[in-house]
Chain A
Amino acid sequence: DQQVKQNSPSLSVQEGRISILNCDYTNSMFDYFLWYKKYPAEGPTFLISISSIKDKNEDGRFTVFLNKSAKHLSLHIVPSQPGDSAVYFCAASVDAGGTSYGKLTFGQGTILTVHP
């Protein structure tokens, strides 16, 4: 049972344009969502997160949007740069007893390629 799904295995974008990565989830108990970026032979690196009480969080070129009713979130990167080329993972966690809990459920990942 894949509780977090990234249905696009890959995305190719021209430098300077917007990259939009999508993620869907099925577990309504998830209340904290994160995006991680992963380069080959490295561990995932935290990029940006959003709590379920918000619908948008922005950090520089990266913005995450959350639509709770649709159980959908997206990561927007604008403008995209060749250095953004990596695998992007969406992840979610459940608040356990009043504190967020680092046990994450990950999607399968989307390979982003930004062409110069």
Chain B
Amino acid sequence: GAGVSQTPSNKVTEKGKYVELRCDPISGHTALYWYRQSLGQGPEFLIYFQGTGAADDSGLPNDRFFAVRPEGSVSTLKIQRTERGDSAVYLCASSHAEDTEAFFGQGTRLTVV
């Protein structure tokens, strides 16, 4: 597809379980970002990749959150021991470089019950 694709669109999981959220960026985009949007709030930065490496992970809330981008394209956000407070929409964005417009995916709505 032409845009940023995120799967699944919705994910319901039980408290304490492990989840993986996937992001397929626009082809050729080297920069990739993960954001989290809680109800009634704007997106909050989690992590930024330039190529395969995490250039800035200062937004990850704690060590239960981890993200990878092993081949510099697809990225996976991993959340261990999920808590109800992790419920949010997780947004992925990509751009050609760090100084160009970022395009967002539609997000994955994570609900922890």
Contact = CB atoms under 8 A, between A and B. Distances in A.
Interface of A: 4, 6, 36, 41-46, 49, 89, 91, 96, 99-109
Interface of B: 4, 31, 33, 35, 40-45, 48, 56, 59, 91, 93, 95, 97-107
Closest 5 CB pairs of A and B: A106-B42, A43-B104, A100-B99, A99-B99, A102-B102
B42 A102 contact: no
B70 to A, nearest CB: 21
Contacts, number: 61
Nearest to B41: A108
A108 B42 contact: yes
A103 B45 contact: yes
A43 B42 contact: no
A89 B99 contact: no
Contacts of A104: 33, 35, 43, 45, 102
A1 to B, nearest CB: 12
Determine the main DSSP class of B at the interface with A: loop
Determine the main DSSP class of A at the interface with B: loop
Contact of B48 (A49, A103, A106): A103
B94 to A, nearest CB: 9
A57 B41 CA distance: 26
A42 B106 CA distance: 4
A99 B30 CA distance: 15
Nearest to A109: B42
Contacts of B56: 103
Most buried by A among B41, B59, B99: B99
A101 B99 contact: yes
A44 B43 contact: yes
A91 B40 CA distance: 15
A91 B44 CA distance: 10
Given A89-B42, A100-B99, 7 more contacts: A4-B42, A99-B98, A100-B98, A102-B100, A104-B43, A104-B102, A108-B41
